[in-house]
């Protein structure tokens, strides 16, 4: 959290509020977010620069600047970017505050402080290990099949591996595997081209629907609450069919949804709708 649909909604909301604006002030309140760069250097390289484009790759937000630099942001677990008027008091979780040339402020809020900012002149190199964009034409059933062929790791873990496909996290990996009827502990090498094909369409459908619904907002802990930059919550959580539903009846067969650990991540699935003889049941 946040995953591709949440980042996509963030970038769509932020783009009209940021493109054309210049950075007129940078207040770094938690320097560790800067990927090792000193706050003074980060500030010096940003001051006066104009944002000329806002884009997404995987779960990264990319802000292209007028001097060829790109400001890359990864929100990790609890990061959020929003635009606020300067007279609105910042919260204790606002760790980076950028004054913009139109008088507004871009604020980075992150209760757990796991997010990362990177200034680079070569974003392609920084993103070189990232797999295909799941909603692009470069992501095909054959590409997915080739990426997981010969891999013994569980398909759930492979989907979380950003070099197989970019942008999936715990929620949408579980939802896509359910829709494809594939057990999350199935080794990658056990999936056929037909399985890959089903999984490929399930990933695309799940992500496209989640983007349309504004992503998922989880009410649970308060700190994992994704909000769009305008403060609006997503609605896709109302459509989760397995994620966060352990013990509840499967919406297809009525049997209980199970939760197990796969690749150190809490994984939700229906053993009836997602059967796999080779998987080790550890519930
Ligand atoms: Zn079921």
pLDDT in tens, 70-120: 999 999 989 999 999 999 999 999 999 999 999 999 999 999 999 999 999
Hey, where are the domains in the chain?
A: 4-126, 141-269
Task: Give the Å distance between the CA of 237 and the centre of ligand 1.
Answer: 18
Surrounding ion ligand 1 within 5 Å at CB are 250, 252-253, 270, 272-273
Task: Give the Å distance between the CA of 254 and the centre of ligand 1.
Answer: 6
Is the pTM for the entire model greater than 0.85? yes
Give pLDDT, residue 7. Answer: 95
Tell how strand 105-109 and strand 23-28 pair up: unpaired
Average pLDDT of the residues of the chain: 93
Helix axes of 193-212 and 170-180: crossing angle, nearest 10 degrees: 130
Give pLDDT, residue 225. Answer: 61
CATH topology of domain 141-269: Helicase, Ruva Protein; domain 3 (1.10.8)
Q: Nearest 5°: CA angle at 76, between 72 and 81?
A: 60
Task: Give the Å distance between the CA of 272 and the centre of ligand 1.
Answer: 5
Query: Is the pLDDT score of 17 beyond 50?
Result: yes
Structurally, at CATH architecture level, domain 4-126 sits in Alpha-Beta Barrel (3.20)
Band of pLDDT at residue 228, cut at 50, 70 and 90 = confident
Give pLDDT, residue 114. Answer: 94
Active site residue 152: no
Q: What is the mean pLDDT of residues 119-145?
A: 96
Tokens of 243: 């994620």
Task: Give the Å distance between the CA of 176 and the centre of ligand 1.
Answer: 14
Give pLDDT, residue 282. Answer: 43
Query: Is the pLDDT score of 279 beyond 90?
Result: no
Task: Give the Å distance between the CA of 201 and the centre of ligand 1.
Answer: 19
Give pLDDT, residue 278. Answer: 63
Active site residue 2: yes
Query: Is the pLDDT score of 161 beyond 60?
Result: yes
């Amino acid at each position: 959290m946040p995953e591709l649909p949440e980042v996509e909604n963030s970038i769509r909301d932020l783009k009209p509020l940021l493109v054309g604006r210049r950075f007129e002030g940078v207040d770094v309140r938690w320097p560790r977010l800067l990927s090792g760069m000193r706050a003074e250097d980060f500030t010096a390289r940003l001051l006066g620069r104009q944002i000329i484009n806002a884009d997404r790759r995987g779960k990264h937000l990319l802000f292209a600047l007028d001097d060829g630099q790109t400001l890359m942001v990864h929100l990790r677990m609890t990061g959020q970017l929003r635009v606020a008027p300067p007279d609105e008091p910042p919260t204790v979780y606002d760790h980076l505050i950028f004054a913009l040339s139109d008088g507004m402020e871009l604020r980075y809020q992150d209760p757990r402080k796991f997010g990362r900012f990177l200034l680079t002149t070569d974003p392609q190199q920084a993103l070189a290990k990232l797999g295909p964009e799941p909603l692009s034409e470069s992501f095909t059933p054959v590409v997915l099949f080739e990426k997981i062929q010969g891999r013994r790791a569980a398909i759930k873990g492979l989907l979380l591996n950003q070099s197989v496909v970019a942008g999936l996290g715990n929620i949408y990996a579980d939802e896509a595997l359910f829709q494809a009827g594939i057990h999350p502990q199935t080794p990658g090498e056990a999936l056929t081209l037909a399985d890959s094909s089903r999984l490929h369409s399930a990933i695309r459908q799940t992500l496209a629907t989640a983007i349309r619904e504004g992503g998922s907002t989880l009410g649970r802990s308060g700190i994992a609450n994704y909000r769009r930059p305008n403060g609006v919550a997503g609605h896709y959580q109302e459509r989760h069919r397995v994620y966060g539903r352990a013990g509840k009846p499967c919406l297809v067969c009525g049997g209980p949804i199970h939760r197990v650990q796969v690749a150190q991540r809490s994984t939700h699935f229906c053993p009836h709708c997602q059967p796999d003889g080779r998987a080790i049941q550890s519930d």
